[in-house]
Amino acid sequence: MKVKRSLTVLVLIIALAVVMSSCKKDDDPIPAPVITLLELGLENSHIGYVGDEFHIEAEVVAEGKIDKIEIEMHPEEGEGEEIHVEFTEFAGLKNLTFHEHIEIPDDAVPGEYHFHFVVTDMEGNQSSAEDEVTIAEPVE
């Protein structure tokens, strides 16, 4: 009888240990997205032209899955409007080779601009990559 009771207690302890370890919640935070800018402007020239498209290529890895990608370009100094474009069509992806062209308005002021590539994942994590670009008058 004593052996049977000891065996029952041992089985209960093992079962409880298995249940507790399998139900343990994963407390490791999901890392923020990783962005690698590959090309800005045609042939990575970092130059865009008023009234034309600006080429952007980047690698994105988001363990928390992409929610949105935002592109912002604002003048370093002086006059000019901020260019802002948001992409939501990549939502749910973990890995992405982003290759898009954004329109530079006809009324954009030529000059030096600060470029921001911002990725927000579905966990609320956010990362950005920045660089300097030039918006120039069209070459004829």
Strand partners, 129: 117
Average pLDDT of the residues in 104-113:
95
The Cβ-side half-sphere exposure at 128, using a 13 Å CA radius, reads 11
Whether residue 6 lies inside any domain: the answer is no
Number of domains into which the chain is organized: 1
Whether residue 130 lies inside any domain: the answer is yes
Whether residue 20 lies inside any domain: the answer is no
For 37-78, how does the pLDDT look when each residue is reduced to its tens digit (9 = 90+)? Answer: 999 999 999 999 999 999 999 999 999 999 999 999 999 887
Residue pointed to by tokens 């954009």 = 108
Whether residue 10 lies inside any domain: the answer is no
CATH of the domain at 88: 2.60.40.2550
Q: Model's pTM, two decimal places?
A: 0.79
Whether residue 90 lies inside any domain: the answer is yes
